[in-house]
């Protein structure tokens, strides 16, 4: 009985090792694409459908908290999570385009029901919006000096 348990344990360990190696080597699919869509915060989009300019400040806050941005493709409604190059910041190329319509060129990766994009190029589509830094700037009233 003891020998049978040892053999069973070793067999199970080997099977798990083979399975883990197979899963690790399965890199999924990838292809280069160009797509048009809105830069979104996938967490708020998935949780409560938030997109657009009304959600911009919340998305900017989420980015500051470490959430990744994504692209909601106009044509298909597919969400592409931003993937970093070489373990860098995944939001570096997207953060200045939150809630904007953009044209993105990059490599799309799909695996296990998840789809992401490594953004190589991004540009605004249509009318641009005011920079977020300008929106946050405060306009101070000009004080009138008394003539003496």
| Of the candidates 119, 65, 126, the residue with the CA atom closest to the CA atom of residue 93 | 119
In the prediction, which pLDDT does 90 show?
92
Q: Give dist(CA 115, CA 78) in Å, integer.
A: 8
Predicted confidence (pLDDT) at residue 148 exceeds the cutoff of 90: no
In this structure, the strands spanning 79-82 and 114-124 are parallel
- pLDDT (mean) for 141-148: 46
In the prediction, which pLDDT does 145 show?
47
Summary mean pLDDT of the chain:
78
In the structure, what pLDDT confidence band is assigned to residue 51 with cuts at 50, 70 and 90? very high
Q: Which three-class secondary structure state does DSSP give residue 3?
A: helix
Q: Which helix (H) or strand (E) holds 71?
A: strand 70-73
Predicted confidence (pLDDT) at residue 59 exceeds the cutoff of 90: yes
pLDDT tens digits for 16-25? 444 444 444 5
In the structure, what pLDDT confidence band is assigned to residue 15 with cuts at 50, 70 and 90? very low
Regarding pTM above 0.85, the answer is no
| Of the candidates 100, 47, 51, the residue with the CA atom closest to the CA atom of residue 77 | 51
Predicted confidence (pLDDT) at residue 29 exceeds the cutoff of 50: yes
- pLDDT (mean) for 87-105: 95
For residue 94, the 8-state DSSP code is T
């Amino acid at each position: 009985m003891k020998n049978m348990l040892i053999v069973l344990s070793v067999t199970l360990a080997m099977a798990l090792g083979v399975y883990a190696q197979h899963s690790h080597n399965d890199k999924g699919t990838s292809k280069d694409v160009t797509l048009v869509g809105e830069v979104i915060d996938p967490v708020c989009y998935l949780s409560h459908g938030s997109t657009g300019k009304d959600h911009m400040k919340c998305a900017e806050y989420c980015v500051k908290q470490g959430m990744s941005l994504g692209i909601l493709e106009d044509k298909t409604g597919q969400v592409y999570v931003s993937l970093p190059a070489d373990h860098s910041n995944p939001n570096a190329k997207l953060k200045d385009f939150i809630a904007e319509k953009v044209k993105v060129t990059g490599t799309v990766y799909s695996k296990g029901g998840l789809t992401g994009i490594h953004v190589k190029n991004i540009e605004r589509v249509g009318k641009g919006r005011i920079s977020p830094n300008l929106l946050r700037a405060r306009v101070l009233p000009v004080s009138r000096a008394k003539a003496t």
